[in-house]
Structure 1
Amino acid sequence: MTSRTVRTDDGVDLHVETDGSGPLTVVLSHGFTARLGEWDLQREVLRHRARLVLWDQRGHGRSGWTPLTAATIDRTGRDLGQVLDAVVPEGPLVLAGHSMGGMSVMALARQRPELFGTRVVGVFLLATSAGGLVRNGLLGLWLRMVRWLGLLPLWLGLLQLLAPLLERYRRRGTAPGRWFTRRYLFGRDDADPATVRQVQDLLEETPYTVTAAFYSTFLDHDESAALPVLGRVPVTVVAASHDRLTPAGHGRALAAGIGDAAELVVVEGAGHSVNLTRTGVVDAAFLALLDRVEADQQQRRAG
């Protein structure tokens, strides 16, 4: 394993690690308030099939912070592209993303469609969404009301103003934090106390200032324009039946929007942290995607 720093065009230092070897490179993008370590279990399996590139998204893990105006999915998509340019300038790529990481992959597809079907030969999307996360329910109603009243900028500004104070007095590892983690990151029957604590510790590493800065980007997130681009290559979409953050319906919509190139895997009983709690299912789906990618590449060469 080696590590390096990639500096973005707006001056943010991104922490990047590489592992394994092979002609194919798999690039792993983590979820919101996590870091590259959330892929550790998949890393052990995939490093025997490909070269791996893992990176901490801006404001997360060991990567540098960002101007508030650049705390967006659009910007993390550009960051991903710059990691590829710096670390994997040539050769075939499979891009994988969990939650916000999947959104970054979709943003890259919209921004640089020429990569897909040429450099990018496969995509793995895990517990993620192309948009509409707060369209329905009480939160969706509240958001529409706040927008109608013209108060959304004030609300977002207040969140960012209060975040440093909340972070200063924050207590990590608390029982309420474990309850929140259990409820929103796990599903019906995929949680045990040790794993819940592991996920709580991982997510609580990220300060409230980061959480507040990125919050607004999820309200307007819409990467539906990227789906036809993803459809140029084999794609696997993994959704969890009891995911409260990116519900399984979003995974089904992703697969439908991508079309025939997509295979959908719905993991019954699991929640948002499906890669940690149903490792065997996720690993098998990932390895099956790599098999599809190899078969697709052989067919293209033969054709």
Structure 2
Amino acid sequence: MPDPPVYVRESGTGPRTVVLLHGFSDHGGTWCRVEPALAERYRVLVVDLPGFGRSAGHWNAPVLDHYVDVLADLVADTPEPVSLIGNSLGAVASLMFASTAPGRVEKVVLADMPGLAGIPRSWVGGARVPLGITRALSRPVPAPVMRRTIGALYARAAVHQPRHMNRAVRAAFTANFADRWQIDTLLAVGSNVIGELARLPIREMVHALDMPALLLWGAHDRITPAQAARRVAPGLHRRVVIIPEAGHCPQLDAPSEFLDAVLPFLDRGIDPQRARSRGLPPQ
């Protein structure tokens, strides 16, 4: 059977909905260590964004605008505003949706989000390499070798303690490299996303959010270093947490610490005055 346009796994039956969005070169499996605890309290929707995991390889450009449309369709039938938890690319998609449809978002968790301190030169340089060249360079390498190699390299970059990764977690970093076509898709998506990120005013968007926001970083993040947190101004509804023994994917490196920060944030009610201003029921 062909892959669905957007693959979504649902768990939990709570009265409030939490949507989990993965990062680049990843899929919904990245949430395997925290999803069960979230599902004990909430209805949880784990999304494979288009171009990744079990979702269809078809994607539209601009990629981030496409992901905003995907989220809008996903929560269209959910009567109450949802909370979004995004990691890396998923954090940017969450931020964009929260910025464009604030009435549909109750709270937002942005984990190891790129863009606050600009885009690393290596990212921009990589995006400028013609796809034909990168494809040609990878052609002589058998796809299984390519899958294992890229998956291992990305896992090492994304987590602080890769030796602690079990088979299910490692699969989350290799599933998108099953064949040449998938590798080509990732290269194309990545090239577009980096260009789009460079044009987004990420810092200004964070400070303009009209809902409680929790920004998380792993202290050992090699991809989007935690020093970017210094660019986030403190605010009444804005909190920053650095998780000591974690890298770019704190939900994998330090799931207990991740949940210690996220669950109280999600559980905390919205003050009645602010709820009325946004047309939400007081909590």
Task: Report the TM-score when normalising by structure 2.
Answer: 0.81
- Corresponding residue for residue 272 of structure 1: 248
Residue 206 of structure 1 aligns with which residue? Answer: 176
Give yes or no for contact 1:128–1:251 (8 Å, CA) kept in 2: no
- Matched AA of 2:222: R
Alignment of 1:92-131 (within 5 A): 92-110=81-99, 112=100, 115-116=101-102, 118-131=103-116
> Does the residue aligned with 2:33 lie in a helix, a strand or coil?
helix
Instruction: Give distance in 1, aligned partners of 2:70 and 2:21.
Output: 11
How far 1:229 sits from its partner (Å)?
4.1
Counterpart residue number, 2:16: 24
Q: Indicate which of 157, 163, 186 corresponds to 1:184.
A: 157
1:78-129 CA deviation, whole Å, 9 max, x = no partner?
22222122xx43113111101111011122234x2xx32x331111111112
User: 1:16/1:158 Cα in 2 relative to 1: closer, same or farther (>3 Å)?
Assistant: same
Residues in 2 aligned to 1:175 and 1:63: alpha-carbon distance in whole angstroms: 23
1:298 is displaced (CA, Å) by: 8.2
CA distance in 2, matches of 1:202, 1:80: 21
Partner deviation per Cα, 1:45-95 (whole Å, 9 max, x = no partner)? 11121111111100111100125x52722322222222122xx43113111
Structure 2: gaps of 5 or more residues? 178-182, 276-280
Give the counterpart letter for 1:204 in structure 2.
Answer: T
Structure-2 change in CA distance of 1:94 and 1:163 (3 Å): farther
Q: Return the alpha-carbon distance in structure 1 between the equivalents of residues 37 and 236 of structure 2.
A: 27
The DSSP-based 3-state class of the residue aligned with 1:282 is: helix
Structure 1 unmatched ranges of 5 or more: 7-12
Tell me the equivalent position of 1:227: 206
Partner of 2:278: none
Asked whether the equivalents of residues 242 and 271 of structure 1 are also in contact (C-alpha less than 8 Å), the reply is yes
Name the CA distance, whole Å, in 2 between partners of 1:156 and 1:60.
21
Contact 1:248 1:266 in 2 (8 A): yes
- Determine the C-alpha separation between the residues in 1 that align with 2:188 and 2:34: 29
**How many aligned positions are there?**
267
1:52 paired residue among 37, 44, 54: 44
The answer to whether the 8 Å contact 1:30/1:99 transfers is yes
Give the secondary-structure state (helix, strand or coil) at the position aligned to 1:45: helix
Given candidates 57, 64, 67, the residue that maps to 1:65 is 57
Please give the residue correspondences for 1:74-85 in structure 2 after superposition, counting only pairs within 5 Å: 74-85=65-76
Identity of counterpart residues, as a percentage? 24
Distance 1:280 1:212, change over 3 A: same
- Note the 1:128-207 alignment, pairs <5 A: 128-135=113-120, 139=122, 143=125, 152=128, 155-159=129-133, 161-162=135-136, 165=139, 169-171=143-145, 174=148, 178=152, 180-181=153-154, 183-187=156-160, 191=161, 193-195=163-165, 198-207=168-177
- Are 1:33 and 2:25 matched, yes or no? yes
Query: 1:26, 1:53 within 8 Å by CA — same for their partners in 2?
Result: yes
TM-score, with normalisation over the residues of structure 1?
Answer: 0.76
Q: RMSD between aligned alpha carbons?
A: 3.1
Give per-residue Cα distances to partners, 1:213-267, cap 9 Å, x unaligned. 122212440242532442x1111111011101111123443x32x8432111101
Q: Distance in 1 between matches of 2:219 and 2:168?
A: 22
